[in-house]
Chains A and B, each alone.
Chain A
Amino acid sequence: NAGVTQTPKFRVLKTGQSMTLLCAQDMNHEYMYWYRQDPGMGLRLIHYSVGEGTTAKGEVPDGYNVSRLKKQNFLLGLESAAPSQTSVYFCASSYNILWVTNTEAFFGQGTRLTVV
């Protein structure tokens, strides 16, 4: 089973460029999440989705947009990349919403993004 797959694994962007990170899950999960992790830090929630066609802001949403057109996919977009967005991005999915129920999250392997 693939679980949660992130594409691409690595990317270097110039300041001002745009890109989209793709997250795909094959577990039929309703809930999906995008986190970012900076050096020496934990993970911070950027955006999340509680189902197809829905999205919501997390703790650090500025500079990012998301879409959930299909249940299995959750896209994270950077319209105009900035050096402050250099980070490792993790996607996750879960059967129930993480902070309400006793459920577990399944994470992808991460996308390492550098903005120069």
Chain B
Amino acid sequence: DAKTTQPTSMDCAEGRAANLPCNHSTISGNEYVYWYRQIHSQGPQYIIHGLKNNETNEMASLIITEDRKSSTLILPHATLRDTAVYYCIVRVEYSGAGSYQLTFGKGTKLSVIP
């Protein structure tokens, strides 16, 4: 099962697009890529998910490469309220016997700068 690799931190100027990359080179063909974010001291918040095609909703866009080995979350016009830790998540197996979970790793700390 797949795991993800994200940069530890990124900065983005307020009003500019924030592009957060994620590598998931071992993802299986039927596994989704999910993005959540966690604003300081709050519970994680769902942003978007995708399988093969690019996706867009009111919060963000998700661009998935054709080989599905990486993806990019795009916040088109970042605001100060977008400062948070962003998690790129795929399903992982634990305990070996077909037990799965969504693992939230350390994510990318995005700082939106005025």
Contacts of A108 in B (CB 8 A): 43
Instruction: Take A59-B101, A90-B43, A108-B43 as given contacts and tell me if A40 and B106 are in contact as well, using a CB distance cutoff of 8 Å.
Output: yes
Complex: A40 Cα to B49 Cα, angstroms: 24
Complex: A98 Cα to B44 Cα, angstroms: 14
Determine the residue in chain A with the shortest Cβ distance to B101: A45
Contacts of A107 in B (CB 8 A): 43-45
Contact with B along A34-73 (1 / 0, CB 8 A): 0101001111110010000000011100000000000000
Chain B CB within 10 Å — which of A35, A92, A99, A107 has the most?
A99
Q: Chain A nearest CB: distance from B3 CB in Å?
A: 11
Contact with B along A15-45 (1 / 0, CB 8 A): 0000000000000000000010100111111
Contact with A along B21-33 (1 / 0, CB 8 A): 0000000000010
B68 within 8 A of A: no
Question: Count of A residues near B, CB < 8 Å?
Answer: 26
Contacts of A37 in B (CB 8 A): 104
B44, A43: Cβ atoms closer than 8 Å: yes
B102 within 8 A of A: yes
Contacts of B95 in A (CB 8 A): 57, 59
B51 within 8 A of A: yes
Contact with A along B95-113 (1 / 0, CB 8 A): 1000111111111000000
Complex: A57 Cα to B51 Cα, angstroms: 27
Contacts of B51 in A (CB 8 A): 102
A-B contact pairs, 12 of them (CB 8 A): A35-B104, A45-B103, A58-B94, A58-B101, A90-B44, A99-B100, A99-B101, A100-B100, A104-B34, A107-B43, A108-B43, A110-B43
Question: What 9 pairs between A and B have smallest CB-CB spacing?
Answer: A107-B43, A42-B104, A104-B46, A43-B104, A99-B100, A99-B91, A42-B105, A45-B101, A59-B94
